[in-house]
Chains A and B, each alone.
Chain A
Amino acid sequence: MEDKKLAIIATKGSLDWAYPPFILASTASALGYETQIFFPFYGLQLLKKKLALEVTPLGNPGMPMPMGMDKWFPVLGMALPGMQSMMTAMMKKKMKDKGVASVEELRDLCQEAEVKLIACQMTVDLFDMDHADFIDGVEYAGAAAFFEFAGQSDICLYI
């Protein structure tokens, strides 16, 4: 049987949204899928050598907050300086305590499993980014290159 194929577009550059593409891609590889992830726009943050991903409670009523903080600090409170870095630190600690892998670890596992990581060259130009800021092994291409693979994929996800 020919390998199944999974194509993912990872568009978001926050800590919480970094997980779905890397978890699904690494797992799919373990199941024998040939996998590619295309990273346009904010998704490019997930390919930086030095990840500085944060999570924000702003505009996210679904985010569980410790000690009922969401009741005491409504939306405006969440906009206070330092709130985002505090939330990020708490989220990272929680993940570590629960044995959830770090984004770096999952990304390494993806590369180890030969998941192809493709950065959107247009976005690199748009934000004046430098290829040197990104991890080794990343390929740079555009929409047409993504469709070449996505068109033959069994599963295609936009995250």
Chain B
Amino acid sequence: MADFDQELDASGLNCPLPILRAKKTLNGMTGGQILHVVATDPGSVKDFDAFAKQTGNELMESKEDGGKFHFLIKKC
């Protein structure tokens, strides 16, 4: 997994909290920085894809590893 600037652990949280927390964290970051989100909600896979498409932030990576979902989001 590529380098990232900030990490957000949303494990154990259910819809819509992972997205809301991610949005809040991104608000405090600057353009071009990368956020690594870890989540356990299986719905978050499609949700982060949709979040990126609608907000213009880039979903650089989305993968499952050991029952956890990892997302790399580059702030636009």
Binding site for B on A (CB under 8 A): 23, 26-27, 30-32, 98-101, 109, 113
Interface of A is mostly: loop
Complex interface bits, B26-53 against A, C-beta within 8 A gives 1, otherwise 0: 0000000000000011000000000100
Binding site for A on B (CB under 8 A): 12-17, 19-20, 22-23, 40-41, 51, 54-55
**CB-contact partner of A27 in B12, B13, B16, B40, under 8 A:** B16
Whether A32 touches B54, Cβ cut-off 8 Å, given contacts A26-B20, A99-B41, A109-B20, is yes
Q: Which residue of B lies closest to A25 (CB)?
A: B16
Q: Give the A-B contact count at a CB cut-off of 8 A.
A: 34
B23 near A30: Cβ-Cβ < 8 Å? yes
Within the complex, what minimum Cβ distance (angstroms) separates A128 from chain B? 35
Q: List 24 A-B contacts (CB under 8 A).
A: A23-B16, A26-B20, A27-B16, A27-B19, A27-B20, A30-B16, A30-B20, A30-B22, A30-B23, A30-B51, A30-B55, A31-B51, A32-B54, A98-B14, A99-B12, A99-B13, A99-B17, A99-B40, A99-B41, A100-B15, A101-B13, A101-B14, A101-B17, A113-B20
Instruction: Give A32 to B55 CA distance when docked, in angstroms.
Output: 7
Instruction: Give A100 to B41 CA distance when docked, in angstroms.
Output: 11
Q: Which residue of A lies closest to B47 (CB)?
A: A27
